[in-house]
Amino acid sequence: MLVTHQKVLRRFWYPVIPADRLTDAPAPFTLLGTKLVLFRDAAGKASALIDRCCHRTAKLSQGWLDSGNIVCPYHGWTYAGDGRCVRIPQRPGGDPGKGIAVEAFRCSERHGVVWVALEEPLRDIPDLPEYDDPAYRRVFEFYEPWQAPGLRIMENSFDNAHFAFVHKASFGIVDEPEPVQPRLEPHPAGFVMYADVPVKNPEIQKANLGIASDRTIRQYEKTWWMPFSRKMKVTYPNGLVHIIMTLTAPIDDRQSQVIQFLLRSDSEADAPAENLIKFDRQVTHEDMTILEACDHDVPLSMTVELHMPTDRPGLEMRRMLAKLLAEHGEAEVRRDGPVQQALASAAE
Amino acid sequence: MLNNRQPVLRRFWYPVMPVAMVDQGPQPFTLLGEKIVLWKDAAGRYSAMVDRCPHRSTALSKGWVEGNALVCPYHGWAYDSTGACVRVPQRPDSNGLKGTAVRRFACEARYGHLWVALGEPLAPIPDWSEESESGYRRIDQFYERWNCAGFRLMENSFDSAHINFVHRNTFGDIKNPEPPPRTLERFDYGFVSRADLPVLNNELQKKNLRDASDTTVRHSTSHWYMPYVRRLHIRYPSGLDHIIITAATPISDDSCQVVQFCFRNDTEEQAKAADIIAFDRRVTEEDREILEGTDFDVPLDMHSSVERHMPSDQPGLLMRRMLLELLAAHGETEQTRHYRFAPDARPTHGVIPSAARDLS
């Protein structure tokens, strides 16, 4: 599936930037191949406009903010957060007249993240009660592009069989490759998966978890936020809850922008944020190395790749996405074969 | 307009390279998507030919010059300045292969640069008398690739309104955004435009212009030579002439080679060439940053709704109109990837479908 070619994917909310990183300067962001400029309007509301002035196509993200309006760097045409042109400096009094505007997109702020939907969203941004629960502290981890599509990142997150290999240096038990079978249940955001997985407990994790043994059990409750985000709730035998939010936005057919943060039921004194980030950095790098080497054109059809029982969550994602496309009258768009590709690139 | 797909654009002269570079040996250049080799033979003749040996398609620009021939680096086949094959080393008894030739293009050395036309030129290389006039010197300024359409650089050059924004840190005054009026007068394959622009005079310019005031007026006379050459003649109140020639030679649809030199009626003692280049460097970098962010597929059709316009855009709009007339006169239509013209293409997001009205 080539995500920029599936129109219905424009109808979801995507996490584009941590809210505290969008301050007094415009930020460019590419979402599903559409170039956007993000900024805060006069009321402080996060806004997303097409990154292209309607006058001479200059990039608004190269401009600057003036009282919450964005100024094009080429001639100073100025736009409000809703896309309306509010000033054309070359005209008497700067009066822009009526009807001049650039395209504006739905933009919202939830769970400390700015979200954008390119077209009318099919569903709301899922709830995350632990974000506002004082029993949990928040630890920001990563904001970075991955050269991998969201679907690969998602199915990897729900795949119990990869730990023993990809994560053998961190928490996977290399001698026990037979995976725990997951249990799936429906959920309004997508689905939820349960599994109790034995893991290795290295020194850094002993301190991070307050668990002294060489092994422990992760009680997983993972929720897929269709299409490309997930909530991973881990409960450890000592009662500690460690929630990893991995929110991704599709930049284009190949790349994703990843936001990751934690919600933890302990305190900074129990486990310094720095050490939590250090361990998760190792784990995410292990995943990144593999996922960036996979084909970005993930087939929704079950017959293109080979499967095993623990692939079920990923297959369920594919099935649900295929159903979504069908419901909206779309066929899955895939890359042509290698010969057609070569011809097409030669013709360009 | 995607200029590689408009054959009539092959019928203009473009400056492609400083002569001094070609004097070093054969050089490659891409003009309107056509790969060419530029070289000089022992008799001093400059040539532009297809950069491809007819034998095994090797780039001749990787070869060398022997006497009056350009030698292919693969098997040594050699071509003279007319493009004719004059030697095939594998057949020493022959003088090349009869009827085998590399296609050559019109090529002339003017103003220290080689100019090439891929087709029969519609207009001559412009005559700029300052090249031979006493009292004037020529300063070669820039030779570099920009990742934008040549057209964007051309319309930018005639756009008084951008100065106070793009050049606010060099000579523009952002507090006075309303641009002064400008005249426009067509000639065959071009137009001339006049404007008096009040500008700020920064420290470097005070030295370059030998004028200590904080503001000055640029009396400017600008010529547009279709499609991608302009001459900007700035006369300062002191009588100083600063004449900038800028070409945005089209490499491809999305990039151009910027060739810039200037004529000045002062001396090196009065203003160092290095300082003059330094100021124009800052100014061109300001333009470059913005123009490389624009869409290279410039819509010529003003009713395409892809862009909105204002009165100070008149020169750029006239360029669009004249290019459309040129295309029509040669049986061409505008080639573009904007969906309005190519229904099969995917929509360009961000187009405002309702924008039908021009501000002018």
Mean pLDDT of B123-143: 96
Give the gap in angstroms from C-alpha A56 to the nearest C-alpha of chain B: 6
Q: What percent of chain B has pLDDT over 70?
A: 94
Q: Which residue has the higher pLDDT, B355 or B187?
A: B187
Query: Could you tell me which CATH class the domain A129-324 is placed in?
Result: alpha beta
What's the pLDDT score for residue B99?
82
Query: Could you tell me which CATH class the domain B3-117 is placed in?
Result: mainly beta
Give the gap in angstroms from C-alpha B352 to the nearest C-alpha of chain A: 7
**Per residue in A241-275, pLDDT tens?**
999 999 999 999 999 999 999 999 999 999 999 99
pLDDT over 50 (residue B358): no
What's the pLDDT score for residue A344?
62
**Per residue in A9-44, pLDDT tens?**
999 999 999 999 999 999 999 999 999 999 999 999
Domain with CATH 2.102.10.10 in chain A: 8-117
**Per residue in A155-189, pLDDT tens?**
999 999 999 999 999 999 989 888 999 999 999 99
pLDDT over 60 (residue B313): yes
Q: Could you tell me if A97 lies within 8 Å of chain B, comparing CB atoms? A: yes
Instruction: Name the token pair of A86.
Output: 């509010």
pLDDT over 90 (residue A303): no
DSSP symbols for B285-320: HHHHHHHTTS-SS----TTSSS----GGGHHHHHHH
Chain A residues 25-64 with CB within 8 Å of chain B: 34-35, 50, 52, 54-59, 62
Domain with CATH 3.90.380.10 in chain A: 129-324
Q: What percent of chain B has pLDDT over 90?
A: 79
Q: How many Å apart are CA B22 and CA A195, to the nearest integer?
A: 70
Nearest residue to B40 (alpha-carbon basis) of B11, B18, B15? B18
The architecture in CATH of the region B133-291 reads Alpha-Beta Complex (3.90)
Spell out which residues of chain A touch residue B165, defining contact as CB-CB under 8 Å. 72-76, 89
Say whether the ipTM exceeds 0.95: no
**Per residue in B271-283, pLDDT tens?**
999 999 998 999 9
Q: Which residue of B has its CA nearest to A61?
A: B293
Instruction: Name the token pair of B57.
Output: 């398609």
Superfamily of segment(s) A8-117: Rieske [2Fe-2S] iron-sulphur domain (2.102.10.10)
Alpha helices in chain A (DSSP H): 129-132, 150-157, 163-166, 203-209, 273-291, 312-327, 338-347
Spell out which residues of chain B touch residue A79, defining contact as CB-CB under 8 Å. none
**Per residue in A113-150, pLDDT tens?**
999 999 999 999 999 999 999 999 999 999 999 999 99
Q: Are B198 and B160 in contact (CB under 8 A)?
A: no
Q: How many Å apart are CA B112 and CA B277, to the nearest integer?
A: 17
What's the pLDDT score for residue B155?
97
Confidence of residue B338 (pLDDT cuts 50, 70, 90): confident
DSSP symbols for B82-120: TSBEEE-TTSTTSSS-TT-B--EEEEEEETTEEEEESS-
What's the pLDDT score for residue B28?
98
Q: How many Å apart are CA A337 and CA B264, to the nearest integer?
A: 59
Q: Does A74 sit within 8 Å of B166, measured CB to CB?
A: yes
- Domain ranges within chain B, ordered by starting residue: 3-117, 133-291
Confidence of residue A335 (pLDDT cuts 50, 70, 90): confident
Q: How many Å apart are CA A278 and CA A268, to the nearest integer?
A: 14
Q: Does B178 sit within 8 Å of A99, measured CB to CB?
A: no
Residues with Cβ within 8 Å of residue A272, at least 6 apart in sequence = none
Residues with Cβ within 8 Å of residue B5, at least 6 apart in sequence = B253, B335
Mean pLDDT of B152-175: 94
Q: What percent of chain A has pLDDT over 90?
A: 91
Mean pLDDT of B176-190: 94
What's the pLDDT score for residue B95?
77
Which of A34, A75, A92 lies at the smallest CB-CB distance from B162? A75
Q: Could you tell me if B294 lies within 8 Å of chain A, comparing CB atoms? A: yes
Which of A50, A58, A88 lies at the smallest CB-CB distance from B290? A58
Is-same-fold flag (B3-117; B133-291)? Answer: no
pLDDT over 60 (residue B61): yes
Q: Which residue has the higher pLDDT, A344 or B50?
A: B50
What's the pLDDT score for residue A346?
62
Based on its alpha-carbon atoms, the radius of gyration of chain A, rounded to whole angstroms, reads: 22
Q: Which residue(s) pair with A230 in the sheet?
A: A224, A246
